[in-house]
Structure 1
Amino acid sequence: MVRRLTCSGVAAVLASVVMATASPASASAASFCDELGGQWDGQFCTTSVVSERKATRDIRIALPGDLVENPVIRAYLTTLMNNWRNAATKMVQNSFGEQHFQILHRGEAMTAVFHEMYSGTVGTDALAHPNAPIVSDAYRTFTFVGGRQVQLADLFKPGVDHLAEIPRLGAPFIVAALDAAPPPHQPGTYPFTPDRWTPDKVYSGGYKAWAISGDELILYMPDYPVGRDTPTNFTPGLMQWSMDGGTVQARIPLAALAPVLRPEFGGSP
């Protein structure tokens, strides 16, 4: 038996926050939407695809103004639209794909956080459960400093193993995020235990989705939906848990990581 956690219960709230903080739409966004084969409504690039089984997928992708000229973000948005179009051709019931974004800043650093929400079932599983479409969330993040994309490791001093130091120095804040994660649960109970969310475990998503904002490092865990914990026999006799993207969002103060951060990201000299 698999128990699935989703963030869709907070998706509407997040969407309103994201759109309120998003950059204004621009001519670049409208032009790029044309390239994607969609229709620009001032906020979203939209299109609909009808599958071989006559099911419709509605797609809405928010475009971050002039940031669509950034080649990294441009490639991501193009791939997202193409992937959702291709998946739509096999759907057996109506579905949707929707993406929102948020732009976060710290000094010269800028992070674009893309929150993907999508539904739909395909193949025999959809036929067996026609009234239970799968709804999923995922996060993709891109951080730039002075126009150059940086990776999580670039925030840390040379020689620092950031994948070891983040869970060590950020432990109290990661635990607090695990305790607060949906659904309501007893603190410290499986699967919301720190040992299952270290960067080598599937629930963490390997810290692939992260942002630096103000005085915090934010981890969106996992980055994409996870089918179940591994190894599968980790909790004999207990149900397996799947985990939706962004179920746990840990906010670690940069001050807690200061001993190992580069000075430009809040590190000590």
Structure 2
Amino acid sequence: MAIVTGCLVAWAPPAFADSSCNAVLGGEWLEANGVCATEVTSIRQAIMTLSVGIPRELIDDPTAGPVLREYMRTRIDDWRTTGATMVRANEASTQPTVYSHGSVRSVVFHEYWWTVGNMQNNAYRTFTFDLASGRQLGLADLFASHVDPLSALPPLVRPYLVPALDAAEPPHSPGTYPFTTQEWEPQLDGSGYSGEYRAFALTDNELILYMPDAPMAHENPWPQDRLVWSMDGGTVIVRVPLTALAPVLRPL
């Protein structure tokens, strides 16, 4: 797995953190760890440990705040529902990283969940906002009006995708299936592991793509003549310099 790096969330007074923690999770703010935490005990007495990192500098922003709060409430409600029926101890968490590009903020939530006896699962849920214009941005909003990013990006991303594929886990020979460009670029039939570039972040000098955005049991549709692979979320994280995208980017 590639490691996500970025600017840390800003400090907020404990009273603010406590109120956000209670509103989002009904949990306890752990200032030393910077997370809101609680536990869910299932009908089988299995304990799910939940923790949520809160992007505190954005949680009360009029543009980003409502979207981020709704995401966190929904994510935690879903995990609470799952935890209520688990038969083994398990844990789930979200950790945000905030990136800045002028007035644009990208928030990347790294979701992690693990059940005793199983391998961990990872996912990346991303949100991008233009705080100056007061709106949430999709991938297409980063590019000129005539540009379809799913068509224009693959050839521009490819020089940075290939080395990321070669370095991806598990160790493999470069250029071998399923770590080939075709499997990690948007396809007309929706196959492959690109996630249609759903999970992205804009930094001061890069566009980051997280692929796939969530665990995939297999390609859909899967190739009938080859071994079927599952993929964890964020198996391949590609960092594309904005200079490489300059011909198609809109002014940001």
- Give the TM-score normalised by structure 2: 0.89
Aligned partner of 1:251 among 233, 239, 245: 239
- Structure 1 unpaired stretches of 5+: 1-6, 121-130, 265-269
The secondary structure found in structure 1 opposite 2:18 is: helix
Partner of 1:164: 151
> Equivalent residues in 2 for 1:1-269 (5 A)?
7=1, 21-26=8-13, 27-35=15-23, 36-42=25-31, 43-69=34-60, 70-120=65-115, 132-145=117-130, 146=132, 147-200=134-187, 201-236=191-226, 238=227, 240-264=228-252
Structure with bigger RCO (C-alpha 8 Å, 6+ apart): 1
Whole-angstrom CA distance in 1 between matches of 2:214 and 2:56: 25
Whole-angstrom CA distance in 1 between matches of 2:43 and 2:119: 19
- Structure 2 unpaired stretches of 5+: none
Q: Kindly state the Cα deviation for residue 105 of structure 1 after the two structures are TM-superposed.
A: 1.1
Whole-angstrom CA distance in 1 between matches of 2:141 and 2:16: 30
Whole-angstrom CA distance in 1 between matches of 2:137 and 2:8: 23
Which structure: greater helix fraction?
Answer: 1
- 2:37, 2:51 within 8 Å by CA — same for their partners in 1? yes
Q: CA RMSD in A?
A: 1.8
- Equivalent residues, number: 239
- 1:156, 1:260 within 8 Å by CA — same for their partners in 2? yes
Whole-angstrom CA distance in 1 between matches of 2:40 and 2:108: 26
Whole-angstrom CA distance in 2 between matches of 1:259 and 1:233: 35
The secondary structure found in structure 2 opposite 1:249 is: strand
Whole-angstrom CA distance in 2 between matches of 1:80 and 1:68: 16
Q: Kindly state the Cα deviation for residue 28 of structure 1 after the two structures are TM-superposed.
A: 2.9
Whole-angstrom CA distance in 1 between matches of 2:83 and 2:53: 19
Whole-angstrom CA distance in 2 between matches of 1:113 and 1:210: 8
Q: Kindly state the Cα deviation for residue 180 of structure 1 after the two structures are TM-superposed.
A: 1.5
Aligned letter for 1:206? E
- 1:53, 1:91 within 8 Å by CA — same for their partners in 2? yes
Aligned letter for 1:136? N
Partner of 1:126: none
Q: Deviations over 1:238-261 (max 9, x none)?
A: 3x2111111100111111111111
- 2:182, 2:192 within 8 Å by CA — same for their partners in 1? no
Q: Deviations over 1:72-127 (max 9, x none)?
A: 0010111111111111011110000011111111111111111010013xxxxxxx
The secondary structure found in structure 1 opposite 2:229 is: strand
